[in-house]
Amino acid sequence: MPTSLHDLTFDELRERIVRDGLRPAHSARLWNALHLRADTDLLARTDFLPPLRRWLEANLGTEFHLDVLPIATQTPSGDGLTRKYLLKLQDGQEIETVVMGYPGRHTTCVSTQAGCAMGCVFCATGQMGFVRHLRPGEIVAQVLHAQRVLRQHGGRLRNLVLMGMGEPLHNYDNVMKALGMISDTRGANIGPSKISISTVGVVPGILRMAEEGSHYNLAVSLHGSTEAERAALIPANQRWPLSELIAACHTYGEKTGRKIFFAWTLIAGVNDTPEHAQRLAALLSGIRAHVNLIPLNETAGYEGRESIETTGEVFHRIIQDAGIPCTIRQRRGIDVAAGCGQLKAERRKRGEKSTL
Ligand code: SAH
Ligand code: SF4
């Protein structure tokens, strides 16, 4: 199986190019084509110098390949600014990537795994089960896809969120390697402060981020403020209980000095009452926190319903009154953005075949 050029960091690419007898400048040019220009067909370029071109002709298709992910399906959102893509991997797996176009600050949401092992009951990806981890190149390729889409519309990608399919901290090494490449100033150059990693609460991963002094933003999906309530929604709570998760958040905050974003999906009658809000506020006391309230996107495999708007507003006010910044995610764009795994689930239900 050939290695993906998108799996190689700047240094790894240079090492290989130099080992094959080329000058290091060629590797910088190749990296630039891959990560800055986001080229999809290197042999179609006419501006590579002969040694690099010969190297590519000799190696592409045999020893190396590119991660260029064809579009299996795409769905524009109602407002036309947000677009969700189902992208096809080489082994036929399909993953979701969302490009969100807020004026002046385009964001992309990428997947880190095909499926997910965590089994959150309300989540379409969790309902599918785990297939495999994505390689670094497959994560990078989603960002490059978003760059190309935005370029066509004169936009530029500024923010990245790891909130697509999969649990990023369950695929820690590949995710961090990919983020290193994506934030490389010689490539896509999305600064670490513009990158958010969302986790269901993989405690060892959070502690590792704290230990490594990670500069990425951390978002923790809570959804429940007692062990039993959270475990009913998130089976992974049995492996990493809420008490350990909150302790890890304290450690992370102390070691990095960074704010933590907490996601709370509002589900009618399940976790949206004023008592739930008060318990959440108490749970977060002493942590530099920001709470993001997300209306539930209803899925076929879960009977829970979205909270009514006024309930969400009361919840929001209680959190804010406790001195914790809190945002209700707007409906705009959410029809495609929040329903992680839903495009794939819907297509599977309709029995549609890929067009590619
Ligand atoms: N695995 C990571 C990141 C992917 S999920 C995590 O769980 O954090 C990204 C976010 O979408 C999480 O906060 C998750 O709880 C939320 N989410 C998943 N399915 C949802 C749904 N049907 N409605 C609303 N939010 C959902
Ligand atoms: Fe996995 Fe996140 Fe979905 Fe839970 S919410 S099943 S962790 S993708």
Decide if 249 is catalytic: no
Distance, CA of 236 to CA of 269 (rounded, Å)? 22
CA dihedral in degrees (244, 201, 332, 280; nearest 10)?
Answer: -10
Confidence of residue 347 (pLDDT cuts 50, 70, 90): low
Smallest CA-to-CA distance from 168 within 105, 110, 238, 243 is with 110
Torsion-angle region of 66 (φ positive above 0: left; ψ -120 to 50: alpha; else: beta): beta
Pick the catalytic residue from 94, 96, 138, 167.
Answer: 96
- Confirm or reject: Cβ of 85 under 6 Å from ligand 1: no
The tokens for 64 are 């190396």
Across 173-185, b (16+ Cβ under 10 Å) vs e yields: ebbbbbbebbbbe
Q: 83: which residues sit within 8 A by CB, 6+ positions away? A: 74, 75, 76, 77, 98, 99, 101, 149, 336
Distance, CA of 245 to CA of 261 (rounded, Å)? 13
Is the whole-model pTM more than 0.85? yes
Report the chain's mean pLDDT, rounded to a whole number. Answer: 91
Section 298-302 average pLDDT: 91
Confidence of residue 340 (pLDDT cuts 50, 70, 90): low
Q: Tell me how far the alpha carbon of residue 237 lies from the centroid of ligand 2, in angstroms.
A: 12
In terms of pLDDT, which residue wins out, 348 or 216? 216
- Confirm or reject: Cβ of 200 under 6 Å from ligand 1: yes
Q: First-to-last CA distance in the chain?
A: 21
Q: Are 187 and 181 in contact (CB under 8 A)?
A: yes
**Residue 187 CA to its chain's centroid (Å):** 19
Write down how long the chain is. Answer: 356
- Confirm or reject: Cβ of 294 under 6 Å from ligand 1: yes
Residue 332 has pLDDT above 70, yes or no: no
Q: Can you give the three-state secondary structure of 4-20, one letter per residue?
A: EHHHCCHHHHHHHHHHC
Atom 21 (ligand 1) nearest CA = 297
Report the residue among 84, 116, 163 best suited for mutation to probe ligand 1: largest number of ligand atoms under 8 A from its CB: 163
* Angle of the 274-283 helix axis to the 309-321 helix axis, nearest 10: 30
Pick the catalytic residue from 116, 306, 340, 346.
Answer: 340
Residue 278 has pLDDT above 70, yes or no: yes
- Confirm or reject: Cβ of 7 under 6 Å from ligand 2: no
Confidence of residue 333 (pLDDT cuts 50, 70, 90): very low
What's the fold here for domain 72-349?
TIM Barrel (3.20.20)
Question: pLDDT of 186-239, one tens digit each?
Answer: 999 999 999 999 999 999 999 999 999 999 999 999 999 999 999 999 999 999
The domain segmentation of the chain, as residue ranges, is: 3-65, 72-349
**pLDDT reported for residue 342:** 62
Distance, CA of 111 to CA of 172 (rounded, Å)? 13
Decide if 275 is catalytic: no
Q: Cite the DSSP H helix spans in 131-196.
A: 136-152, 172-182
- Confirm or reject: Cβ of 222 under 6 Å from ligand 1: no
Report the residue among 130, 134, 167, 170 best suited for mutation to probe ligand 2: largest number of ligand atoms under 8 A from its CB: 167
